[in-house]
Chain A
Amino acid sequence: MRTDERLSAVLESVRSSGAGEAEVFHKRGRSRTLRRATGGDVSSLRQEEGWAVRAGDHDRSFFYAASGVPEAETAWPEPGGEGLRLPEAQSPPPWTAPDDLDSPLLAENESKALLDGLARELDRELPGAGLVQAFLEDGSSEQQLISTLGVRARARQRAASLFVEARGARRRGAAVSLLIAEREARRFRPQAVARRLADRLLIAERGEAPDRDRGDFLISHGVLVPILARLLGLFVGVEATLRTSLLTGKRGRLASRHFTLIDDGRLPGGVFESPVDGEGQPTRPVTLIERGTFRQPLIDWRDASSTLEASGCCRRASWRDLPRPGATHLYLAPDRRAAVADLLGSLSRGYYLLAADGAVRLKDGHRRFAVPVSGFAIDGGRPTGSVSGAWLTGSVPSLLSGVVALARDLTFVPCGSALIGAPTVLVRGLELRRRL
């Protein structure tokens, strides 16, 4: 029996049980992983398949998920607890599937060659440096969803991620780590990754922290993305309007006029690019902050109103999971005219911060932040020394309204189930400290 026939049979079975409106979701995927650590290499080929039903009415509902092929002859749970609403069918705008969705997964020898190459390049960049651990994953999946409300949706995805932890020549020296994602693993460039790791290891070894200093800060995506990820709650859900209002300045602006924040589930070239979300709702770009002014939060169809426009933003990490509203590709719009070198050259005195070396801390109800960082001290547009073990700190409003320029190097980083992106930005009004 074909999958769509099985889904229809399941839907009919659920409908016959009297459970109310119903939806059936099916996902199948393959992934190759390679984990390298002190214990050796673990190569894994995963084939996953599962399906899930949501069904209910205004008073009661259930969720049932199982591995394997959809089975119409399932004893459905008795609905209970809360009622359930399901979305109506909507036709997504035309979308062309990118060619690389069909590219084959990395073979075992290719994945080993990639990590071997990365280790070689790292040693070349910084003699004696090596990988402590690495985890490479390359996968593809397809999903289907049908419902009693007429939703009929299909989507395919291709995603690869690479996590590496590296240490310098000294055995007990500091370790640095990096997590990157692409649509396919063949796009990972060992030389570029090795260079980034080597730079950070050198900074960690040689860097110092100023007692306390203010100035201009050139902040790369390595610092800004973790901060945006930590502030995600400000932008998702209807309550976000109230939360952001507490940070809005006297002129009604949340951020500087250079700051435009967008979420786009169908971002061309995005790793999670898809015409529909995990509920079969059409994805589209949503501008959350436009030139500093908060426009609306990221909401799904449940919270849509005359003033709040919904987008398909409910994601399911796997067939086991319920769809949850959240970011897909959330990014700070870059300035395509400016290179990082231009911003660096304009920095008469300040810091160029490359990476967050720990978790972002928020205090005072999201009003203040602090994050451990590393990078370079800058004078006359040139690096004059390494900085590490320092805390970048300030108020969240100061960070958002202090952005005075952006570069064009928009880079996405995996953050939980989303990808968050930022270019390098020039910010004023923050502080660097040795201790909090």
Chain B
Amino acid sequence: MPFADLDAAGIARVLSQLADQRGDLADAYFERSEEVELSAVGEPPGLRVRRESGLAIRLQRGQETWLAGRDRIDAENFGDAVRRVARALPSAPYAQPDLDTAPWREPFDTEEVLAFPDLLRRALSALGTEDLAREVKISVRRHRRWLRVIGLQVSSGVERESFYSVTALGRSSRRGALYPLLDESAAEALARGLARDRFAEDAPPPKGRAAACVLGAGAAAVLLHEAVAHALEADILARGGHPEAAIGVELGSPLLNVFDDPQSAPESVRRRADDEGYPTLRRCLLRAGKVEQPICDASWSRRSDLLMPGGGRRGDRQDQPGPRSLHLELVAGDQATHQLFADADGGLYFPEADRGHLDPDSGHFVLGFPYGLRIENGTPGSAVGPCSISGHVSEVLGKIDGLGREAKPAGAGWCAKGAVRLPVWSTAPALRLSEVEVDPR
């Protein structure tokens, strides 16, 4: 495991020389990442591998932060980064920690990446969509990352993440998905999604109207991510005042109990420490619809005793960490699926959402769906084309009046905030919204 043998004590000694004022925070971030990609047919080169490693030194003093990132891990680059960040010459020469990391010579293990396109085509054929199996263009990526953070207050063990991203291009659709494992169940899930896209391909969008809506687990996860998680990130809350002022505010229906829990994420992306080395926690974002704890990184948590760190994530060593959720959980309710549909008869069912946006200043929220199904006689029926629901975020969340009994992993995807793209994971049940405005897209 890389970074397991880093001279943590030596590094901490250097950081203590750097952080020479009371209240300073200093840390050293070490990272190694690999991406193996099989590109779609017609897009050379076929196999693509990216491997990188590097470090970053950070000093935070009051409301100012200094960061120096490097693309090599060795004593020279470590020392240079420390000197760039330092606010004053040290009283004694900086210590020289041992940073020998073994050269990265592991062979490229690409078996599951190369095998997935055939797995997907077999799954499509099994659904009776042989033409889709023939025409679909597939690109597959495996993402792996190892990181370790050593600081004055924290020293994490080595954290490891591994997941896959797949893009499938049909004749007139494009579907992307993230999976913790690339196996038959991933292929079957993607095949079902592509088949549904085909089914709904030419469906006209619905007329704009108020309707009860049932959101499948995948759509519910996107709703939560955009309307709850982003809304409760400390830096977003700070645009309107002090983040801790949100604690106790009623954001949505009393049915909503929402957590961010990196330790219960899928195993290959589970985290015990965040990207600042702080222990992750099962953070309650909403309890009975009221804000309990915003998502905070170390910097925001230092501004109030009411805020807790452990929610810091960064794109890579060159980025400053910031608050972001990793694994959202919506606690399941007590309604069977047929009950959710029965009480939304005449409305619409959205298995998935493909986009969502919350304006942090106005609170206006939009959730978009690539297609929907009319709920006819209590079951999903004919398809409708692309549409969206919108409204003030608390109004939309307040319309949740039913939660399914079964929470399942769903809605994993890329979250781009401030041009930093990170994977996010969710576990959610289906849910029902009482009358919301549905508009064609």
Contact = CB atoms under 8 A, between A and B. Distances in A.
Given A43-B66, A45-B84, A67-B71, A61 B50 contact: no
A169 B361 CA distance: 14
Contact of B44 (A35, A43, A61): A61
Interface of A: 35, 37-50, 54-56, 60-69, 75, 77-85, 132, 171-172, 175, 320, 322
Contacts of A61: 44-47
Please provide the 3 A-B residue pairs with the shortest distance between their CB atoms, ordered closest to farther.
Answer: A81-B46, A40-B63, A67-B52
Contacts of B51: 64-67
B47 A77 contact: yes
Given A38-B238, A42-B64, A62-B49, 7 more contacts: A35-B320, A39-B300, A40-B299, A48-B71, A65-B51, A66-B50, A79-B45
Interface in B47-79: 47-54, 62-72, 77
Contacts of B49: 62-65, 77
B107 interface: yes
Contacts of B64: 40-43
Nearest to B113: A80
B43 interface: yes
B114 A80 contact: yes
Contacts of B362: 172
Interface string B95-109: 000000000010110
Contacts of A44: 66-69, 318, 320
Contact of B63 (A41, A49, A66): A41
A68 B72 contact: yes
Contacts of A80: 38, 46-47, 110, 114
B39 interface: yes
Interface string B121-139: 0000000000000000000
Nearest to A83: B44
Nearest to A49: B71
Nearest to A50: B71
Contacts of B320: 35, 42, 44
Nearest to B235: A39
Given A47-B70, A49-B72, A63-B47, A82 B62 contact: no
Nearest to A135: B418
Contacts of B71: 47-50, 67-68
B42 interface: yes
Contacts of A171: 240
Contacts of B80: 47
B82 to A, nearest CB: 12
Nearest to B77: A47
Contact of B299 (A39, A45, A47, A320): A39
Nearest to A43: B66
Nearest to B31: A67
Given A39-B238, A67-B54, A172 B44 contact: no
A171 B65 CA distance: 26
B417 interface: no
18 contacts: A40-B65, A42-B64, A44-B68, A46-B69, A49-B71, A64-B48, A65-B48, A68-B72, A75-B108, A77-B49, A77-B108, A77-B110, A78-B47, A80-B38, A80-B47, A82-B42, A320-B52, A322-B45
Contacts of B52: 50, 65-68, 320
Interface string B288-323: 000000000001100000000000000000101000
B22 interface: no
A81 B107 CA distance: 18
A62 B69 CA distance: 29
A95 B62 CA distance: 48
Contacts of A42: 64-67, 320
A418 B271 CA distance: 38
B141 to A, nearest CB: 12
A316 to B, nearest CB: 13
Given A45-B68, A65-B51, A132-B239, A82 B63 contact: no
Contacts of B361: 172, 175
A80 to B, nearest CB: 4
B44 A68 contact: no
B9 interface: no
Nearest to A47: B70
B41 interface: yes
Contacts of A38: 235, 238-239
Task: Specify which of A82, A171, A322 lies most central, judged by the most chain B CB atoms within 10 Å of its CB.
Answer: A82
A47 B76 CA distance: 13
Nearest to B65: A42
A56 B50 contact: no
A158 B134 CA distance: 47
B41 A39 contact: no
Interface in B120-173: none
A82 B139 CA distance: 12
A428 to B, nearest CB: 31
Contacts of A172: 240, 361-362
A54 B46 CA distance: 10
Nearest to A171: B240
B239 A63 contact: no
Contact of A82 (B44, B70, B235, B238): B44
A173 to B, nearest CB: 9
Contacts of B67: 42-45
B235 A62 contact: no
Contacts of A67: 51-54, 71-72
Contacts of B239: 38, 132
Given A44-B67, A49-B71, A80-B38, A37 B235 contact: yes
B27 to A, nearest CB: 14
A64 B63 CA distance: 40
Interface in B217-242: 235, 238-240
Of B63, B80, B105, B239, most A-chain CB atoms within 10 Å? B239
Contacts of A46: 68-69, 318
